[in-house]
């Protein structure tokens, strides 16, 4: 993973994090919107402008790749680079959570 990817994606935006988390399995933009809404009990509603921009950017940076098209919806899945980024981010969040629980 090069420095540029690390700088741009770690730490990640909440939107970026959920997109990558969902794309461990093949899915399309609207599928991710629905999945995240369900996962967060309606607290996080991703919007199409943000979703389209993020998917394009992540595809360009090689974090996800295009799998196939189904009824005018592009299906993507996380790549090996995407998995590495997600793992780094998960470690960061786990550390954050652990430290907040342990107190100062």
Partner 1 sequence: MKKQKKEFKWFTIADYEKEQDYLREMHNHGWCFQKVNGLGMYHFEECEPADVIYQLDYNKKGLANKEEYVQLFEDCGWEYIQDFFGFSYFRKPIGIMNEEEGIFCDDASRLEFMKRILIGRMTPLLVLLFTIVIPQLITNGLLGNHSLSSFFLGMFTGILVGYLVVFIWYMKQYWNFKAKIYKE
Instruction: Point out which residues bind partner 1 (CB under 8 A).
Output: 13-16, 28-30, 33, 42, 45-54, 56-57, 69, 71-74
**What's the min distance (Å) between Cβ of 19 and partner 1?**
11
Comparing CB distances to partner 1, the nearer of 14 and 94 is 14
Comparing CB distances to partner 1, the nearer of 71 and 102 is 71
- Gap between the Cα atoms of 25 and 87, Å rounded: 15
**What's the min distance (Å) between Cβ of 80 and partner 1?**
24
Cis peptide before 45 (omega within 30 of 0): no
CB 36 within 8 A of CB 22: yes
CB 20 within 8 A of CB 84: no
Comparing CB distances to partner 1, the nearer of 53 and 91 is 53
């Amino acid at each position: 993973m090069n420095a540029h990817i690390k700088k741009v994606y770690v730490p990640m935006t909440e939107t970026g994090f959920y997109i990558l988390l969902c794309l461990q399995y093949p899915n399309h933009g609207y599928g991710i919107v629905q999945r995240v809404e369900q996962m967060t009990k309606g607290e996080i509603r991703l919007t199409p402008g943000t979703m389209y921009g993020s998917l394009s950017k992540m595809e360009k940076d090689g974090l996800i790749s295009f799998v196939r098209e189904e009824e005018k919806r592009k299906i993507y899945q996380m790549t090996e680079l995407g998995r590495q980024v997600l793992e780094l981010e998960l470690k960061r969040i786990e550390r954050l959570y652990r430290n907040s629980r342990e107190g100062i």
